Chains A and B, each alone.
Chain A
Amino acid sequence: MRVYLERGRSVFVTSKGEGRHSAARFAAEFEGGRLVAAAGEEQLFTGPPARSVDLRLPPPPAGDDPGEIAEALAAAVRYWRRPALLQYTAVVGTRLISGLTLVVQPRPVAVWAVAGQIAAETGRMIPIGWSGQRSGLPTLRSEQRLETIARIVEAVEHAEDARPGAVPAVLASRASAILVHEAVGHFAEAPHDASIDTCHRLGCRIAGERVSVFDDPLAPDGRAHYEVDDDGVACLGRTEVVRQGVLVGQLHSLASAQAVGGTPTANGRAASAWQPSIPRMSNLVCAPGATSEQQMIENLHRGLYVHRLADGFSHGLEISAQVILSEWVHRGRRTGRYVTGGRVTGKVDVLTQVVEVGDTSMFSDNALCGKARQILFDVGTCAPAMRLSALTISQ
């Protein structure tokens, strides 16, 4: 029998600025787990495990103060001077796996997320998403981040609607991170249904030859950070995923690796002890190239500079992402003519259009990722700016 235990404390705060009843604060303490019998029967429970299990996790450490979070959220809404709804979630606690031959040391969990919407004066709702490790308070209090959002909102208010079609483009680092995550990361994850074998994908070209990607749970500054995954598999280093545009590695949980006779890559991740681990990215890192972003815009000559994408989605071989803000480039210069709306659409080989890769890779500040009914806060993507010969935008 295997035992998955979790004990944690969560904080949820919703805020729409200031005023009576503008914020709601929730503090939740959870202890529970899942027992999996040899024949596969599962039992989910709350409270400490049965005495026969003889394991008890320590009480969770103190988490964020909901009052401080509510104040920081209200200050952010005040700063933007637009109607907004923000929702903050943080979880601190410990997880533990125990089995017939395995007792893994308790693993600390400390993750947070802020998500929400700001209503631009034009009526367009602009999504907000930040997430990562430890506490989100420093991010919420960062005037630089608030200022960045304010500038985006202002630009969206003066933007024209996107027209569908294919256009040459430079993606800013945060925008390219979304396409790398959807097109490369999810394609490299082994299926969570272990009866499906996707090894035939290995050797496929899925990006331009300047693109190389690896996955690393211990990447410096990564939004994910763990030495042992939720299957109890120790991380032995980074996993090479794409070498010069060709898929050379897959991300495996213990079950998916066993199903294809492969090696687990410490990518078995679960949103909570109640759910089975499935193959998920940890920190997907796209290696930088040699060209500055400014030079790429000059080389683009005419096309779109994509500042922000959001709401990335992939299913099968299709990917898409919402265009929040882009800007026309003319004669190698940004014009200040902004464009909003529409979706980037394409197949998982959308990055085969990459012709130049920027010289600086940065982690995206949104690491939320939902898959198979499990939402993780800490799926990091580190990517440089990229120039694409064509990017398809649909309505």
Chain B
Amino acid sequence: MPKRAELISSGVLLAFGLLLVFFIIPNQIGLPDYEVTMSPRLLPYICAIGIIVLSGSQIIQHLLARHRDSGVPFKGWFTAAEGKALVGIAGLFIICIALFIHAAPIVAGGVLVVGLLALFGERNILIYVALPTALLLATYLIFYQVLGTAIG
């Protein structure tokens, strides 16, 4: 993996660890006003300090390695196709969650399947109708009829 990506990811983790130690843990975990065997903050602190130490050591390691050789170019470790897939799928889920809350589960389910087919560039209209219908019908039969439970 390119060294710049390594440095950035280790830097983000180091910042996350510091944020945990100095801000998140003190603000998000209270302390009991009675004596306890182990503070509820102990394990999160151990994890945060571990993350700081290890990510810090990774940064030092990569800086030293960078000094020794030129490293791999940063471009290319994350492809455009991966970016599109990541944003497309995550975005589609956000839309479907909103539809689930504000419209109906059936609409959200249908949009999810249709949206994913569109993301893949499907051109057959029959598939756009058949796949969501089959999945929603199968879900209805399994959960509402066979298992006797409801979704939504």
Say whether A associates with B: no
